[in-house]
Amino acid sequence: MNILAIDTATEACSVALQYKGSTITRFEICPQQHSQRLLPMVDEVLKEANITLNDLGLLAFGRGPGSFTGVRIATGMIQGLALGTGLKVAGISTLEAMAIETVHKGEYESALIAVASDARMDEVYFAVYSQTPHGLCQIVGEQVCSPELAIEQLNALDPQPSDNVVTAGTGWSAYEALSEWRSNASLEKGEGVCFPNAEFMLGLAFKAHEADDVFDAINVEPVYLRDKVTWKKLPGRE
């Protein structure tokens, strides 16, 4: 399936195109420039593949969690692309995408992937995944919480984390408590996966399509996790 994925949920801006078995990607760290860079990056990958949006079968985007502005940019862009083409949209977890990339880079057969992305306000976006020979599964659900609560949940896992913990995300370096926990309990630091990358949303998008977990443009919704922010929905939505 030909899929275009975009993500702007963090300081990174990324676009990935899967077309006829090939993958074309763009990835930049460009804080506060996502709205200027995203569409040109989409155009670049389409031109490199010598196709148009009408040659695609599915759209995908990083639906969060992440910064309110960043998630809103990707949501608005994907809605516009979907409205113009009639394509379905898959919303992909930014935390799961980081876990997938971590596993891909490390080729771990069995590990816990603890993802903690800096959410500001002394909190992190947090989730834990288990990598097994049968694939990745979530064992601690997505949430926004304090670093201390994230640590409590890690320590409560059975069996407790040991040297099979791999970490991803900016939260581990942003907060002293998480940095200290990682130094003491996590011998695997991963391959420097700090931000979500649209390239690693492509496989998740295909799985969402296979599970019929895709949406029309009007039903696309971001995931913020914080109740303090709202999303202005398209006309006709309540």
Q: Pseudo-torsion of CA 138, 60, 3, 89, nearest 10°?
A: 110
Which class for 24: exposed (0-12), middle (13-18), buried (19 or more C-beta within 10 A)?
middle
Same domain? 27 vs 138: no
As for how many domains the chain has, the answer is: 2
pLDDT the model gives residue 188: 55
Q: Which two tokens stand for residue 23?
A: 């993958």
> Is the domain of 19 the same as that of 53?
yes
pLDDT digits (tens, 9 = 90+) for 92-139: 999 999 999 999 988 777 788 999 999 999 999 999 999 877 789 999
* CATH code, 133: 3.30.420.40
* pTM metric for this prediction: 0.92
List the domain range (segments joined by +) for residue 176. Answer: 95-185
d(CA 14, CA 88): 20
Please indicate, yes or no, if residue 20 is contained in any of the structural domains: yes
pLDDT tens, residue by residue, 140-166: 999 999 999 999 999 998 766 655 789
